[in-house]
Structure 1
Amino acid sequence: MNRRARLLAVSSLVLASTVTLPALPASAATLPTGARSLEAVNYPGRFVRHADYLGRLDAVTSGSSAQTKSDATFTIVNGLASPACYSFQAANGMFLRHYDFRIRLEANAGTPTFREDATFCPVDGSVAGSVSLVPVNYPDRRLRHRNFELWVDKFEDTAGFRADSSFRLTTPWTPKTTKGPVIPGLFADPHIAYFNGRYYLYPTTDGYASWSAPYYKAFSSTDLVNWTDHGVILDHGPDVSWADNSAWAPAVVARNGRYYLYFSGGAASGDTRKHLGVAVSDSPTGPFRDALGAPLVRGGTYPGQAIDPMVFTDDDGRSYLYWGNGAAYVVPLNADMVSFDPAAVRTITTTGFREASFVLKRNGTYYFMWSENDTRDENYQVAYATGPSPLGPWTKRGVVLQKRLELGIKGTGHHSVVQVPGTDTWYIAYHRFAVPGGNGTNREVTVDRMVFNADGTIAPIVPTL
């Protein structure tokens, strides 16, 4: 059983806690994501907080310092080790994790051990409305307070232990004051699309060393502000026979009454090549199934990495597949959306191109956009060119999105663009280093306006918090 399957099995056992711990209450399957504080049920007024990077249970009141209130506020995010569970991120970007069973606050190292130590599955607590947190890698233990310190202790079926390991989720002591990230937690490479009256985001799941995440999730919104998490839509472990990791940069397009998800994938066999695949579903929220049982573009067939697929459909109904890292490629797709003529593949590499191709059309002009530099570099940025057809030729126009250091915004790139139907209003979704404390494997997704000048050029995009 691979690591992904094992973790899901463990988290399923934790969530179905009445199976392994018959005396416990029914499981609490979900938690609300976003900023929250956690109050002890048996010590009202005392909250989970970090002090000197150690987890504690301390009194917090309206008269407490701003720092104390911030230290007692956590963002509940997608579980670093399992999407069925959750992780708790502090305002400084670090995560609660257990180490030698003591709760600490540390930066996400992205390793399997760290991700498991920082992932907790919820079960119902000792009183109505409360929750207990079970480490995904130690389902026989609970997060509890002991002498006002936070530990992960072996479960004891006593009233005292139940109370010590139960917490109420409350409104955060430090409310969120910025609009981004639009999805709480670590995600990157967002593809944004509009289907049937809703906007959809399909990102890479981030926070993994070497970007080894194995699955994709989908999110949807009617207003680009409030997003619904639709869960895992494709998991390389059980769903893709030729890949089990490196689930990178998905892109989804509607065609033929179905939805096609193009994705990058790799295997843990030691072969470092990445391949492009395509999956299909009857719904934009999946589940998707591998359409071919083999890569659509096998790594090594063309120079550069076979990653970062994107599909553009022109007004005549013809769809084009773009991809590449180090070199950019395009090919018309056949009507089935899962095949193409290899003889029709064209190289369209522009000056500065690194990866993350994206193509759109406006007023008869085609815009080819891409990311420059390395995603681990704070100078990761978006540039674009214009041309007369989906195949070019392309004339570079310059950089339109880049870092904004006065706000701590770095590494702005790997974007996608969506048009509000029936208008000339456009939005760009992209990732940046998580603010604060992020880096090239701890990234977050945000959305900003993209405006065209009167001459058809794209105005510089102003990244915002």
Structure 2
Amino acid sequence: MRIPSVLAVLALSAGPLTVSPGVSAAAATLPAGVRSFESVNQPGSYVRHQESLGRLTPVTAGSSQQTKLDATFTVVNGLASPSCYSLQTRNGLFLRHRDWRLRVDANTGDSAFRADATFCPQDGSVAGSLSLSSYNYPARRIRHRDSGLWLDTYQDSPNFRADSSFRLKSPWAPKVNKGPVVPGLFADPHLTSFNGRYYLYPTTDGYASWSGTYYKAFSSTDLVNWTDHGVILDHGPDVSWADNSAWAPAVAAKNGSYYLYFSGGLARGDTSKHIGVAVADSPTGPFRDALGRPLIRSGQYTGQAIDPMVFTDDDGQSYLYWGQGAARVVPLNPDMVSFDPARVRVITPPGYNEAAFVLKRNDIYYFMWSENDTRSEDYRVAYATGPTPLGPWTKRGIVLQKRLGAGIKGPGHHSVVRAPGTDTWHIAYHRFAIPAGNGTNREVAIDRMEFNADGTIRPVVPTP
């Protein structure tokens, strides 16, 4: 079960992910994005990492580029709690405390590291400043002492308050790459549109064994600027039959409601995975478990019961696709939460591993999937075409694969959306976080996806 937030009142329930450069954060808030942190009582000195240790040192326009990089952090979703935050360095490490000393390390994904690398904002000593308390030791705050950064027990004194207060500033080393779309570690993105607005539903990543417990929703009008709508479903309090492995959500609209299909696991140590469905009145939730039990249970069919996806055809019929190792499809009943088991069909194409996705364009159905393992840099997206949502399918080739020259590894588990009223298509996918990611430290990117005159898909060149 996820540890309860110590600052639930600071949930990111609304508000843009980006803030204009140079605008300081309001007290006790910490907007996501690339930032630098200036000391309140030592103006011109900034939080930075040097030889793995957190320090407070002067930074100026004449400082070396490496110093500027070391003094730049990306504020991301809290590794231990979505109500707090983590600070990621430009080389992909995370600021964390160890033996009360602040340092930077690679995210191991275990619960101890995630807690050590999560901080919650408090009011700073002066207007417009903030202080960062430890998620797992809330009585302690980050402060500078003898040029080092330490996690010390809070003291209600002017000196301590000043030593532990910082102003958010424009980053010394601004972000130059296009991706990721939303700051932080997310994977398995489901990108769709409702009522002229785009919605993104990813897996929350950065957990060892992919043991995350909750889903967030993001929305945008332009696929560039995203609003974080906070947690929309949490396996801990919201799902009686699952408490971890919150994987690969997909959302569909029908009957005036929104249906969230998701994968879930039971108590830790049990590797069984099941597929559930939740329902809400809004695309941003909150969602509630529609059945109080799995829609598809582990072992009910061969292959792992994960990665649900729903495609709705022009006639209004919706189809549920799922499975790792074996791909299956079944027409959903009108209630969107049941189906006739006798109508389940196996449609596994050559090379299929997981992450089925279906779309329709010009009366051609496209069945897409991910090949290889998500922990491999060779994870990639392939596709086939067919005359119906059930196939038969003819494999066409690879749509998306690694681009090592740009540092892109393991791009896969995608979704596709068409810009409303156009023939413009976009593909969302995850990849190893650049530059220090791996199969459990992934990030979400979006690129254009284009078609040839004969209806085949042009290979997508992933952008950094």
The answer to whether the 8 A contact 2:188-2:248 is kept is yes
Structure 1 stretches of 4+ with a deviation exceeding 6 A read: none
The answer to whether the 8 A contact 2:275-2:306 is kept is yes
Cα–Cα, structure 1 residues 331 and 177, in superposed 2: closer, same or farther, change >3 Å? same
CA–CA separation in structure 1 for the residues paired with 2:97 and 2:4: 17
1:11 matched to which residue of 2? 7
1:31 matched to which residue of 2? 30
The answer to whether the 8 A contact 1:214-1:236 is kept is yes
Query: Structure 2 counterpart of 1:7, which letter?
Result: P
The answer to whether the 8 A contact 1:7-1:81 is kept is no
- C-alpha deviations, 1:234-284, integer Å up to 9, x for none? 000000000010000000011001100000000115321100000000000
1:190 matched to which residue of 2? 189
CA–CA separation in structure 2 for the residues paired with 1:11 and 1:198: 30
Shift in Å at residue 421 of structure 1?
Answer: 1.2
Cα–Cα, structure 1 residues 130 and 313, in superposed 2: closer, same or farther, change >3 Å? same
1:45 matched to which residue of 2? 44
Residue 223 (1) aligns with residue 222 (2)? yes
The answer to whether the 8 A contact 1:134-1:142 is kept is yes
Cα–Cα, structure 1 residues 431 and 13, in superposed 2: closer, same or farther, change >3 Å? closer
Identity score, percent: 75
1:23 matched to which residue of 2? none
What is the number of residues matched between the two proteins?
Answer: 450
Matches within 5 A, 1:166-315: 166-268=165-267, 270-315=269-314
The answer to whether the 8 A contact 1:236-1:243 is kept is yes
CA–CA separation in structure 2 for the residues paired with 1:333 and 1:30: 43
CA–CA separation in structure 1 for the residues paired with 2:4 and 2:116: 12
Cα–Cα, structure 1 residues 179 and 99, in superposed 2: closer, same or farther, change >3 Å? same
Shift in Å at residue 179 of structure 1?
Answer: 1.3
Query: Structure 1 counterpart of 2:63, which letter?
Result: S
Matches within 5 A, 1:416-427: 416-427=415-426
Shift in Å at residue 28 of structure 1?
Answer: 4.5
The answer to whether the 8 A contact 1:248-1:307 is kept is yes
1:20 matched to which residue of 2? none
CA–CA separation in structure 2 for the residues paired with 1:141 and 1:269: 30
Shift in Å at residue 116 of structure 1?
Answer: 0.1
Shift in Å at residue 197 of structure 1?
Answer: 1.7
Cα–Cα, structure 1 residues 317 and 375, in superposed 2: closer, same or farther, change >3 Å? same
Shift in Å at residue 153 of structure 1?
Answer: 0.2
CA–CA separation in structure 1 for the residues paired with 2:160 and 2:270: 48
Q: CA RMSD in A?
A: 1.1
Q: Which runs of 5+ in 1 are unaligned?
A: 16-26
Matches within 5 A, 1:92-131: 92-131=91-130
CA–CA separation in structure 2 for the residues paired with 1:143 and 1:29: 14
1:24 matched to which residue of 2? none
- C-alpha deviations, 1:294-322, integer Å up to 9, x for none? 00000111111000000000000000000
Shift in Å at residue 175 of structure 1?
Answer: 0.6
1:371 matched to which residue of 2? 370
Shift in Å at residue 7 of structure 1?
Answer: 3.1
Residue 431 (1) aligns with residue 427 (2)? no
- C-alpha deviations, 1:326-351, integer Å up to 9, x for none? 00000000000000000100000000
Cα–Cα, structure 1 residues 202 and 63, in superposed 2: closer, same or farther, change >3 Å? same
Cα–Cα, structure 1 residues 123 and 424, in superposed 2: closer, same or farther, change >3 Å? same
The answer to whether the 8 A contact 1:275-1:306 is kept is yes
2:159 matched to which residue of 1? 160
Shift in Å at residue 30 of structure 1?
Answer: 2.9
The answer to whether the 8 A contact 1:400-1:460 is kept is yes
- C-alpha deviations, 1:54-74, integer Å up to 9, x for none? 000000000000000000000
Query: Structure 2 counterpart of 1:380, which letter?
Result: Y
Query: Structure 1 counterpart of 2:234, which letter?
Result: D
Query: Structure 1 counterpart of 2:4, which letter?
Result: L
- C-alpha deviations, 1:362-387, integer Å up to 9, x for none? 00000000000000000000000000
Shift in Å at residue 394 of structure 1?
Answer: 0.4
The answer to whether the 8 A contact 2:218-2:227 is kept is yes
Shift in Å at residue 92 of structure 1?
Answer: 0.3
- C-alpha deviations, 1:388-422, integer Å up to 9, x for none? 00000000001110000000000000000000111
Shift in Å at residue 161 of structure 1?
Answer: 0.2
Shift in Å at residue 11 of structure 1?
Answer: 3.3
Three-state SS of the structure 2 residue aligned to 1:163 is helix
Cα–Cα, structure 1 residues 282 and 71, in superposed 2: closer, same or farther, change >3 Å? same
1:90 matched to which residue of 2? 89
Three-state SS of the structure 2 residue aligned to 1:390 is coil
2:389 matched to which residue of 1? 390
CA–CA separation in structure 2 for the residues paired with 1:215 and 1:52: 34
CA–CA separation in structure 1 for the residues paired with 2:9 and 2:446: 37
TM-score (norm 2): 0.96
CA–CA separation in structure 1 for the residues paired with 2:29 and 2:169: 15
TM-score (norm 1): 0.96
CA–CA separation in structure 1 for the residues paired with 2:100 and 2:304: 41
1:330 matched to which residue of 2? 329
CA–CA separation in structure 2 for the residues paired with 1:279 and 1:381: 29
CA–CA separation in structure 2 for the residues paired with 1:317 and 1:162: 60
2:149 matched to which residue of 1? 150
Query: Structure 2 counterpart of 1:279, which letter?
Result: A
Three-state SS of the structure 2 residue aligned to 1:7 is coil
Q: Which runs of 5+ in 2 are unaligned?
A: 12-25
CA–CA separation in structure 2 for the residues paired with 1:432 and 1:371: 12
The answer to whether the 8 A contact 1:69-1:174 is kept is yes
2:21 matched to which residue of 1? none
CA–CA separation in structure 1 for the residues paired with 2:205 and 2:37: 25
The answer to whether the 8 A contact 1:14-1:139 is kept is no
The answer to whether the 8 A contact 1:259-1:280 is kept is yes
Three-state SS of the structure 1 residue aligned to 2:314 is coil
1:19 matched to which residue of 2? none
CA–CA separation in structure 1 for the residues paired with 2:94 and 2:324: 32
CA–CA separation in structure 1 for the residues paired with 2:98 and 2:412: 34
Query: Structure 2 counterpart of 1:225, which letter?
Result: V
